[in-house]
């Protein structure tokens, strides 16, 4: 069994906080996060500071006081990062930019009728380049959907035996 490192513990606790904020679907205070995650208020405060600094969460207002200093409310920022999504299953290759909640920000389509091999690859690259230029936040990654299974070593779709994107 491996010993937990400080970095692993910090990552684990950061994920706990992010998950609690995301699942809350609204505004939440640091004190409530501490109660939900069972982390100390100091740990929550430090990790929330990092998350606010990275832009994943934001301070959205001040809550009602329950006898002390009013809490600063936090919320998940779904537009802090974006993902590029590509669908290669039709006559046209479809692409979209989505936020962290899967909301579509923009869509693009390139004609791909009878595209195979290098031509299909170039059409896909052009679509990806166009979508990346349209992104307004840091990109987490690129997801590609293809029709059926793809043999990654050969770069083909066994169903159609056509070369795709290797």
Q: pLDDT per residue over 45-68, tens digit each?
A: 999 999 999 999 999 988 888 778
Model pTM score? 0.73
Chain-wide mean pLDDT for the chain?
Answer: 86
CATH number at residue 97: 3.30.420.300
DSSP, res 64: -
My answer on whether 58 and 87 are in the same domain is: no
Query: Partners of 95 in the beta sheet?
Result: 86, 108
* pLDDT for residue 161 is more than 90: no
The rounded percent of the chain whose pLDDT value lies above 70 is 91
Percent of the chain with pLDDT over 90: 54
Domain enclosing residue 94, as ranges:
82-163
Tell me: do 138 and 72 sit in the same domain: no
Q: Which of 22, 56, 76 is the last residue of a domain?
A: 76
- Cβ–Cβ under 8 Å, residues 115 and 126: no
Token readout for 44 is 């929550």
SS3 144: strand
pLDDT tens-digit readout, 89-146: 877 889 999 999 899 999 998 887 777 778 888 888 899 999 999 999 999 999 988 8
- The predicted pLDDT at position 157 comes to 61
Name the more confident of 60 and 1.
60
Instruction: Confirm whether 63 is domain-assigned.
Output: yes
Residue 34 binned pLDDT confidence (cut-offs 50, 70, 90):
very high
- Domain match, 105 and 154 both: yes
Same domain, 96 and 55: no
Based on the fold, state whether residues 111 and 140 are members of the same structural domain.
yes
Is 64 contained in some domain? yes
Asked whether residue 12 is domain-assigned, the answer is yes
Mark which of 32, 53, 76 sits at the end of a domain: 76
What count of other Cβ atoms lies within 10 Å of the Cβ of residue 7? 8
Q: How many domains are contained in the chain?
A: 2
Mean pLDDT, rounded, for 143-154: 77
User: Is there a domain that residue 130 lies in?
Assistant: yes
Interval 33-52 mean pLDDT = 94
**Is 1 domain-assigned?**
no
Residue 32 resides in a domain = yes
């Amino acid at each position: 069994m491996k010993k937990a490192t400080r970095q692993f513990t910090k990552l684990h606790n950061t994920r706990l906080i992010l998950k609690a904020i995301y699942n809350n679907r609204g505004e939440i205070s640091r004190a409530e996060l501490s109660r939900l995650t069972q982390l100390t208020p100091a740990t929550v405060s430090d990790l929330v500071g990092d998350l606010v600094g990275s832009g994943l969460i934001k301070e959205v207002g001040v809550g009602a006081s329950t006898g002390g200093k009013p809490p600063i409310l936090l919320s998940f920022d779904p537009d802090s990062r974006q993902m590029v999504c590509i669908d290669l299953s039709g006559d046209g290759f479809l692409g979209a930019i989505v936020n962290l909640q899967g909301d579509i920000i923009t869509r693009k389509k390139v004609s791909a009728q009878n595209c195979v091999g290098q031509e299909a690859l170039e059409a896909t690259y052009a679509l990806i380049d166009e979508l990346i230029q349209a992104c307004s936040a840091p990109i987490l990654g690129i997801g590609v959907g293809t029709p059926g299974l793809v043999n990654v070593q050969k770069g083909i779709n066994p169903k159609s035996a056509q070369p795709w994107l290797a």
